[in-house]
Amino acid sequence: MEKTQIPAENTSKRSFNKYSVAAGFQAFFSNNMATGIQPNYGNVFRTVVLGIPSLWIGIMNTIVGILNIIGIPAGAVMLQKIKMRWGRYRSWLYVAGGLYAFFLFVEFVDFGLPDGVVKYLVAIIPYMMVNFIMTLHVTATRCLLPLYAPKLKDRAANQAASNIIGTVGKFIYSLLGLKLITFVNEASGSASLGYTALAGVICVGFTIAMINFGRVTAPLDPSDKDIQGQAKADAKGTDEKEPGFWAMFKSIINAPFGLMLASGIGKSIAMQLINNLIAFYYLYVIGDNTLMATYLTLSSLFSYLGAQFTQIVSRKMELKYIGAVGLGLYGGCMLLSYLAGSNALFFTILLSISNIGLQIYLTAETPLYTAISDYSYIKSGKDSSKFIQQFSGLSNKTGTLVSTSVVGFGLMLIGFDAENVTASAAQGLRFLVSLGPAMCCAIGVVCLLLLPLTDKKLNAMRAEAARKNEGEK
């Protein structure tokens, strides 16, 4: 059995160790800053600063949405089949991470091009590449987690420690991001340099943190140069563990992956509906958007508390139950907010608390997908981990595609008109922002409770596989 796929013992018993801290500083810049600047300021930069017409913005978003779905299987095959010299997973960490930082920076640069197709292509290509490459980098990061935390409970604790550091980045970004844009724009007299400066700071910080994470995990995922003598021969022997195309796709055609994917899609639809419509809710249902800024700041604090909770209980509860508790809390808060009516303060409090549940689920999600990689490896003897982790991104891509369609058609169906918001339209908004997400979370909770993967189950499968191997010898 391949040693780097399922290590015999935990590399570190402490949640905060050199691996989780290095991963945390990468998350500090990537999970919340890099992934935040694009939805927060991307469309504003392209429409207001670059002056790209709304029609082209719509075309761009549609193309990127379609390519996001197509890019999942294409990226999965690339990750699984293309081998590079810097380690099985670290190679993609470096290559995808470097390209991700480059294209994210270029996305927020105004090259001063005249209006026309060339200008629009220069705007859409970096936007498209960032969305595609990001999933490759996330996959490489996820695949490294089992190398320093083989047990599910250890993975959850390490992931929670990394997320705690990452949420600090989210808090700093929420406080200083817009201020940096405004300061640089006013100081330079340019409408674009503030966005470029913020993207530059994020990309430089991310690149440094990514390289450091790769350096720290180098002994666990050695490069060709580091593998010598018999170790190199052993490593070449692992090529026999590489799956064919049919074996790769079989690794995701099973109950554990289907249930986990369904729970992720439920979470993603709920999250995207809330994020896309929250401003509408405050303005047209509550009639006051002053508390929205309070929510955006409090959400970082409550996300931090969610990661702390997971870190504390991760070794005391089965991981699927931790995820179910988190998603249940997330959906429960949204259900209560629907039942509470349009009370602005109560809604803001519940919306803020819901981030504890969301963070608990997000912390459990990555280790659960790595458990599916273990499950597949034990059953087939083939390592499809990169393929599986890449396909796990399908939950977010599908959730985004569904939620954006629901937002567009939903606003039309409820008869929303910004100039004249009727009582029925306001009620429809309450459904889309509160009750709809609660229902999606409920489906996700059921899927998690049905998930048949636990530490005990995986250990029993490993023991059975070991007995079979001994019998064949």
Domains present along the chain, CATH in parentheses: 1-242 (1.20.1250.20), 243-473 (1.20.1250.20)
83 — phi, psi (to 5°)?
A: -110, 140
Residue 243: per-residue pLDDT: 76
Instruction: Indicate whether this model's pTM tops 0.85.
Output: no
- pLDDT at residue 472, as a whole number: 62
Whether residue 75 contacts residue 207, with contact meaning beta carbons closer than 8 Å, is answered with no
CA dist 17 to 91, 206, 362, Å?
A: 22, 20, 20
Chunk the chain into consecutive blocks of 10 residues (it has 473) and report each block's average pLDDT, rounded to whole numbers: 41 74 90 68 81 76 76 82 87 94 94 88 88 87 89 85 86 83 92 93 95 94 66 47 77 91 93 81 74 76 86 83 95 91 83 92 90 88 86 83 75 78 84 92 96 83 77 61
Dihedral sign from CA coordinates of 156, 356, 372, 79 = negative
Q: Return d(Cα 222, Cα 215) in angstroms, integer.
A: 10
Q: Is the dihedral of CA 76, 81, 87, 93 positive or negative?
A: negative
Confidence at residue 473, expressed as pLDDT on a 0 to 100 scale: 57
Residue 230, number of CB atoms within 10 A of its CB: 8
DSSP-derived secondary structure for 272-303: HHHHHHHHHIIIIIIS--HHHHHHHHHHHHHH
**What phi and psi, each to the nearest 5 degrees, are found at residue 112?**
70, 25
CA distance 280 to 289: 9
